[in-house]
């Protein structure tokens, strides 16, 4: 039987079909032409913790007719609906419990980085960004990966909803052309409180070549930093989700960052590859400039299998790798471990994060465990960030 060859014509046809497929996917997962909408609501106890006032105090102030506070509407049995994020923000404004940095404290630029692919960089970046912004930190999440998983998590189909001109490709290109570029033009709001982002799509990949090609010396690694610097005063925390490769974009992230989280599964191959990351970091620090330093750099063990009888052999191997990692990297290891969980499959099936889902598709207990695990990781990182600030050192 004759099988026709796949030529350029067929590939072009594939590309055209893909655009149609993406349009249909968008209809399935999001309502067409609408942005992501947060349906998650917060219970009074969660709100009390997030606002920093007791439930009864909040209740009292809400009952006072002189206050412009609107508690959630009553549903059946005298019970109220949960609070929206807007209502939480309104309460924080009312009680004056918004986060503030003192003059001498610098916003942190946190890069989630490892040259190894699939180690949970994006999962950590998006959850950490949502966790921190929910706590009240003004947060900017930069998608520096042309695979654009972060952009997708925020409800956009990268090569369909996002124009090349909206990505940092356009920023880098124009800066290299010598134009005066406003980094703020690339910052977009999200459906999540206190969280802005810079989207990405495949076009960003071209920046690897364009930045590499210019004859700029070490300055070419400072392009991203020069952009972030323009908007940094609007934020407490900037998080960069990086691509799984050593290239111009990764190097720009390493240069811009003032702290680094390195996700790494406790498996031989992943750890060996992370060793290479440190080796290269050592080499590139020479090129980037000796003045580069991080306020903290921590390895986060990710995707560790929870112990079951079925995977006991894997457990033993992972435990061995972890034990060695703690022995040799000690203070560079985060205490938390990010466990493998089916809950992430369920929520990502709906293109949501763990924090956006109220009623999980799978086991509620597994979902709660995954949230508890993620909260612990984020809290540990939050504490590290706060230690870099004099005003919140006591946290």
User: Closest approach of Cβ 306 to ligand ATP, in Å?
Assistant: 10
Token digits for 136? 């009240």
**Of ligand ATP, Mg ion, none, which one sits near residue 169, judging by CB under 5 to 8 A according to partner kind?**
none
User: Closest approach of Cβ 150 to ligand ATP, in Å?
Assistant: 8
Token digits for 48? 């009390």
Closest residue by Cα to residue 375 from 124, 203, 160: 124
Indicate which single residue of 87, 111, 120, 149 sits in contact with Mg ion (rule: CB under 5 A): 149
Q: Which of residues 296-325 bind ligand ATP (CB under 6 A)?
A: 302-303
Asked if 302 touches Mg ion (CB under 5 A), the answer is: no
User: Closest approach of Cβ 16 to ligand ATP, in Å?
Assistant: 26
Closest residue by Cα to residue 81 from 123, 44, 117: 44
Q: Which is nearer to Mg ion, 88 or 347 (CB)?
A: 347
User: Closest approach of Cβ 390 to ligand ATP, in Å?
Assistant: 33
- Can you name the residues that pair with 300 across neighbouring β-strands? 263
- Can you name the residues that pair with 316 across neighbouring β-strands? none
Asked if 122 touches Mg ion (CB under 5 A), the answer is: yes
Asked if 121 touches Mg ion (CB under 5 A), the answer is: yes
Closest residue by Cα to residue 240 from 250, 230, 226: 250
Q: Which is nearer to ligand ATP, 101 or 246 (CB)?
A: 246
- Contact of 115 with 250, CB cutoff 8 Å: yes
Q: Which of residues 231-250 bind ligand ATP (CB under 6 A)?
A: 244
CA 359: distance to chain centroid? 22
Other Cβ atoms less than 10 A from the Cβ of 298: the count is 20
Cα(135)–Cα(120) distance, integer angstroms:
22
Asked if 120 touches ligand ATP (CB under 6 A), the answer is: yes
Cα(176)–Cα(170) distance, integer angstroms:
10
User: Closest approach of Cβ 141 to Mg ion, in Å?
Assistant: 12
- Interface residues with ligand ATP (CB under 6 A)? 117-123, 145, 147, 149, 244, 302-303, 338, 340-341, 344, 348
């Amino acid at each position: 039987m004759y099988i026709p060859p796949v030529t350029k014509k067929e590939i072009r046809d594939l590309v055209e079909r893909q655009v149609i497929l993406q349009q249909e996917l968008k209809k399935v997962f999001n309502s067409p032409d609408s942005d992501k909408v947060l349906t998650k609501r917060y219970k009074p106890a969660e709100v009390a913790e997030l606002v920093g006032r007791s439930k009864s105090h909040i209740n009292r102030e809400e009952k006072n007719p002189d206050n412009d506070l609107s508690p959630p509407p009553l549903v059946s049995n005298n019970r109220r609906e949960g609070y929206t994020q807007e209502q939480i923000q309104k309460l924080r404004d009312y009680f004056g419990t918004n986060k503030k940095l003192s003059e001498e404290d610098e916003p942190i630029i946190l890069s989630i980085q490892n040259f190894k692919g699939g180690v949970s960089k994006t999962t950590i970046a998006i959850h950490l960004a949502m966790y921190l912004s929910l706590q009240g930190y003004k947060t900017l999440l930069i998608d520096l990966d042309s695979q654009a998983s972060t952009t997708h998590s925020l409800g956009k189909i990268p090569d369909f909803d996002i124009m090349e001109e909206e990505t940092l490709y356009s920023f880098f290109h124009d800066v290299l052309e010598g134009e005066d570029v406003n980094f703020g033009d690339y910052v977009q709001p999200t459906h999540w409180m206190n969280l802005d982002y810079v989207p990405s799509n495949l076009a960003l990949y071209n920046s690897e070549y364009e930045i590499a090609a210019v004859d700029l010396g070490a300055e070419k690694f400072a392009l991203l930093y020069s952009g972030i610097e323009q908007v940094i005063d609007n934020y407490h925390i900037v998080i960069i989700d990086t691509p799984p490769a050593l290239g111009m974009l990764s190097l720009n992230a390493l240069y811009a960052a003032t702290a680094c989280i390195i996700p790494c599964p406790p498996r031989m191959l992943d750890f060996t590859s992370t060793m290479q990351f440190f080796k290269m970091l050592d080499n590139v620090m020479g090129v980037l400039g000796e003045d580069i330093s991080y306020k903290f750099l921590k390895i986060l063990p990710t995707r560790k299998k929870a112990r079951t009888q079925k995977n006991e052999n894997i457990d033993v191997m992972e435990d061995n790798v972890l034990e060695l990692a703690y022995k040799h990297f000690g203070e560079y290891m985060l205490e938390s471990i990010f466990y493998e969980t089916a809950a992430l499959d369920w929520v990502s099936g709906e293109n949501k994060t763990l924090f956006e889902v109220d009623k999980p598709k799978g086991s509620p207990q597994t979902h709660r465990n995954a949230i508890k695990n993620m909260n612990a990781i984020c809290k540990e990182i939050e504490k590290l960030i706060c230690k870099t600030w004099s005003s919140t050192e006591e946290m």
